[in-house]
Chain A
Amino acid sequence: MPEDLAIRTEGLTKRFGDFTAVDHIDLKVETGEIFGFLGANGCGKSTTIRMLCGLLAPTEGKAFVAGMDVEREPERIRATIGYVAQFFHLYGDMTVRENMELFGGIYGVPDDELASRIGWWIERLDLTAYRDVLGADLAMGTQRRLSLACAVLHAPKLLLLDEPTSAVDPLARREFFDVIGELQDQGTTVLVTTHVMDEAERCNRLSLMDRGRIRAVGTPAEIKAMSGGRIYSVEVSDLSRALEALEGRRDLRGAQPFGRQVQFQLRDGGQGEADQIAAWLGRQGVECGPASPVRPTIEHTFLSILGSASDGGEGE
């Protein structure tokens, strides 16, 4: 039943002139899951989110939030979603508390409940010290927490987060995701865009987006398994020479530096082939340790999907 889905899109497309920002995406987000939207900057993540909350009209296709058509019932949908924009979009000339009162009030939180909800979130998001500080005077990480606070005061069923943790330090980022986890426990569906891989790990399901298209959808484990060939790592004496040499090999999907090591991904085969490549590197004059297998990460899948897409794009 489509009504069970928090978000469903059918061939959702957005064009800006000749440029297709979002290209026929079909998306299904289950109620209650944390769904990650992974992709490079400019791949269409934000445009998709902006269509979902009714800020942009789709050029083609349909989008449903909790079964409601985004274009037909934007106002009903708006009451049930919370949105944290990529940049600080609250009032810089109003204090933390004033911003929360304004947005809570506009979302229709009853007056007698508003104060206690604001108090609760101020405490939960460590905003106590800033309650009377102007939004513009807050550090970026604090602004993000305030944005989140203003977006959840009305207990939305769906929370849309557009790069909520960019320019936030890793510890704060982890705390941010702890809060998101708690919201999920209370039944909130969360759609979060990111290009940070460790955030992607915390999502129930992920979609990889590239140039307006969704390239892969699955749980983090499934996504990792899609990375294609096995990945090995060798320690090398000369990183740039090693990368240069490996780049010419057609039997590799790719090679990346990783500290003092080079990680390469095979098209076919396993340890035996990897040992041969290490030995070949040695013959090329690069001192080289033994090849050891690497557990694939989401990043590997991401890079290999991007790689295969660009291979196709160049007609090779």
Chain B
Amino acid sequence: MISGSRIKRMVAKEFRQFFRDKLMLGLSIMIPILQTLILSYAVNTDAVNVPTVVCDMDRTRVSRDFLASVTSSVAFAVIGEELSVHDVERVLDRGGAELALYIPSGFSRDLQHGDAQVLILVNGADSITATVASAYLIQAAASYDVEVKRETILRQGYRADALPSVRGETRVFYNPDLRSLWFMGPGIMAILLLVLLQSFAAFSISKEKELGTFEQMVITPIRPTEMLLGKIIPYSLIGALDAAAIGGVVVWVLGVPVRGSILVLAAAMALFILATLGSGLLLSAASANQQQAQMLNLFLAFPSILLSGFMFPRENLPLVFLWISDVIPMTYLLRIIRGVFLKGTGFAELWLPNLLPLAVLSVVFFVLGVIRFHKRLD
């Protein structure tokens, strides 16, 4: 028979220990808030002030005009002017610049004949910045190209609209400025909750194993279920508090809009907390001490970070990883979170494709964790 008073004692004990450990307490409050801020601003794929060197071998009015027009964007910070392509390469080698723009001599002459070329040198070692920045540079060159043609036509007495052209107009939904902060913030909320809560659950058990208190508990008449509830109740409450704290930072500090239902968000979070506690239990059952638990915690967090669509688009994943991605609760939670925050997606749209799989996975993880925990005690 399950005894309520035993569960109450275990819950009280767990809270007492949690609040007595000042470091843990501090970390559990500070980590979510600080990490959300740091990660949200740090995980930023917008290109701003990319260090750029230029090399103008043409040295004409036209080439200077071109340079000024192309590098005027906030994406680039011109940090130097080199005298030869050799010097440019040296600067890139040194890591002094991410990007270089090389204008060969004869640029203005070739421009007259319609086939001027410039060289863009990119530091591929930092491929995210390089791709984004070089794309900006190419775009800038293209608009210069259009501008030059337009002026030429005007000079020859034609009307400007006599120049045939196609222009692609982009309208970005949900995140019109494509702010990576908006995109990352809500996801970071989920990732942090995973890492924090999974380690809380795992450590609180592996610590007891290491200190021998687990053994001392096992020989008392306490039921595994009572012991389990004694861990799960406090840690799901702490998890819920952390989720709320991170959510607060994301909304009020980072200014990410919440367009959908908080209730759906809360339900998804609750399910996710269940799944995370389950994996924490599995993890603690598999590890004999805190170090092993620590390693496993990291190891288990990786798929959620790398394969869930948090960092890289799921569309690019090879098939096998896609399958793995399909059984990671984070995959579904992220879609729900991003949907609720940015798109205002409601329960009706989220229920079948995302909430249901999340619920199923959560129950599976949780039940596996509980079974594993019981086995360990027998």
Contacts and interface: CB of A to CB of B under 8 A. Distances in A.
B165 interface: no
Given A102-B9, A102-B13, A105-B6, A91 B222 contact: no
Nearest to A107: B220
A20 B220 CA distance: 27
B13 A107 contact: no
B9 A105 contact: yes
Contacts of B157: none
Contacts of B212: 85, 87-89
Interface string B192-214: 00000000000000000001110
Interface residues of A, number: 26
A85 B216 contact: yes
B255 to A, nearest CB: 40
Given A85-B212, A91-B213, A106 B219 contact: no
Is chain B's binding surface mostly helix, strand, loop or mixed? Answer: helix
Contacts of B16: 94, 98
Interface string A210-235: 00000000000000000000000000
B296 interface: no
Contacts of B10: 106
A227 B277 CA distance: 59
A94 B20 CA distance: 9
A53 B213 contact: no
Contacts of A55: 215, 218-219
Contact of A53 (B6, B17, B219, B223): B219
Contacts of A101: 9
Given A88-B212, A89-B211, A105-B6, A79 B218 contact: no
A94 B213 CA distance: 12
Nearest to A103: B220
B211 A105 contact: no
A137 interface: no
A106 B17 contact: no
A88 B213 CA distance: 8
Contact of B213 (A79, A89, A107): A89
B221 A107 contact: yes
B204 to A, nearest CB: 12
24 contacts: A53-B219, A54-B218, A55-B218, A55-B219, A75-B223, A81-B219, A85-B212, A85-B216, A87-B212, A89-B212, A89-B215, A90-B213, A90-B216, A91-B13, A91-B17, A92-B211, A94-B20, A98-B13, A102-B13, A103-B216, A105-B5, A106-B9, A106-B217, A108-B6
The 8 closest A-B pairs by CB, nearest first: A89-B212, A89-B216, A79-B221, A105-B9, A78-B221, A106-B220, A53-B219, A83-B219
